[in-house]
Structure 1
């Protein structure tokens, strides 16, 4: 089926022609005593549970970018949870703080998996979500998180990484990855150089993973976030928004989720 037909079928099957009534709710859940503050977005006009999608934030923390993406997914008919990986909804305003927050999770894989699983269990328990159909997407730091979860054999139908790191100390093993994998990458991203890309592809091929990799010329790190240009100017970071790559990568995600959930 062509991409156009897949997206058309998705829209019709989810009733988008009649308009979605998107709601967003502040939610809390816990991981071993740590309070986590998420954001649940769903279409209140929908009848019955819908496939669920976890949205993992950039290294800045659970901010408006993650919530915006959750709302966009709800407009497509999914039930989306913008996840809090740091605890207490912490958000960094400076790269040094963001690096500390992200590093504490990246360097503790057990903690990463617990924080992710707490969010996954919460989403599966919601009446608006189909507990049997769950996927995850992530941005930058979040992209690396969802890929690690796939490598770990998490029971997810699919994961999608937007401008996320691809290197790992725990490479995928043959037969262990249950998720379909989508990687959306900026070809000019200095934080994820070509050798890391090639290493990732070799890893996926060796493990027999069903994956699709798309690179966008002219796009650098954080190409989906309009706030990236401000961060680049303020902190001299090699990041930047790219409207074309943002639009095209979202289209790839729509197709990927439609195919993953069998819509």
Structure 2
């Protein structure tokens, strides 16, 4: 079991603003925090154009680690009126630029589900404590590895309003149980994704149906893994990976997610 150091706020999150910037009304802050003695680096984004408390959204990175793509997603969410926190599941400075390293980092981070949950919950608490956030309205979205993380948090019964998986792994040793899954679930996957074959997609649909989970699953025909990431084509060419960006699928999945959030966060 991973132990999370406690404080008067129920967990010790040592916040150190490494950098703060303001672009027009967009506010961003790099945040260092501690979980069980390990340092992590996340990224908060919110827009001062929106007033009052607002829902918060956690962003869980791809298998590469906490990178610019994850931060960009947080900024996009801020532009939509949410406060977003692009969390770190690997540890400060752990970032891959080769698939072999990404695989190693992902396997290490996924090997103990208690650790995964502790790291996710630390980030959730940090987001909920931000002055702009309505702590009762929290969702999580993840990409690739991050998609698997948010689905597993739903399976484990974490209190969230919704989770969204973009080209995430759908299989898991953890299975959803009726009455345990709290959030509504959306999944966007590529119909030609060799990393998430049709058997996984079908198995997830059966699993969630058997557990009476509110699931929306969208499969884009002919679309490859990593379809939301504009950098996927370069990676595919460099390493010969079966991945690729798809602008239409990226836009449709984003628009669907924004509609989902408007619905689940409606007063």
Q: TM-score, normalised to structure 1's length?
A: 0.91
Q: Which structure 2 residues correspond to residues 184-263 of structure 1 after superposition, within 5 A?
A: 184-262=188-266
1:7-56: CA deviations, max 9, x gaps?
A: xxxxxxxxxxxxx8111111111111111100000012322121000000
Aligned to 1:166: 170
The match for 1:48 is 52
Partner of 2:39: 35
Paired with 1:79 and 1:164, the residues of 2 have a C-alpha distance of 23
Match of 2:144 among 140, 147, 154: 140
The structure in which a higher percent of residues are helix is 1
Q: CA deviation at 1:205?
A: 0.3
Relative contact order, higher structure (CA 8 A, sep 6+): 1
RMSD (CA atoms) = 1.0
Counterpart Cα distance in 1 of 2:199 and 2:41: 36
**SS of aligned partner of 1:100:** helix
* Equivalent pairs, count: 244
Superposition deviation, residue 188 in structure 1: 0.5
Q: Deviations over 1:122-164 (max 9, x none)?
A: 0011101111100000000000000000000000000000000
8 Å CA contact 1:58–1:142 kept in 2: the answer is yes
Q: Structure 1 residue 89: deviation in Å?
A: 3.9
Q: In the TM superposition, what whole-angstrom CA distance separates every residue of 1:64-106 from its partner, at most 9, and x where no partner exists?
A: 1101100000000000000100011421011111001111122
Question: Hey, what's the Cα distance between the residues in 2 that align with 1:22 and 1:142?
Answer: 24
Q: For structure 1, which runs of at least 5 residues remain unmatched after alignment?
A: 1-19
**Counterpart-to-counterpart distance in 1, 2:75 and 2:51:** 18
> Cα distance, 1:195 vs. partner?
0.7
Aligned to 2:19: none
Q: 1:61 and 2:65 equivalent?
A: yes
Corresponding residue number in structure 1 for 2:87: 83
Q: Which moved more, 1:45-54 or 1:94-103?
A: 45-54
- Find the partner of 1:153 among 149, 154, 157: 157
TM-score by length of 2: 0.90
Would the aligned equivalents of 1:38 and 1:89 in 2 still touch at CA under 8 Å? no
> Equivalents in 2 of 1:130, 1:117: separation in Å?
16
Instruction: Specify which of 125, 129, 136 is matched with residue 125 of structure 1.
Output: 129
Counterpart selection for 1:113 from 111, 114, 117: 117
- Mapped to 1, the partners of 2:142 and 2:35 lie a distance apart of 20
SS at 1:135's partner residue?
A: strand
**CA–CA separation in structure 1 for the residues paired with 2:86 and 2:135:** 16
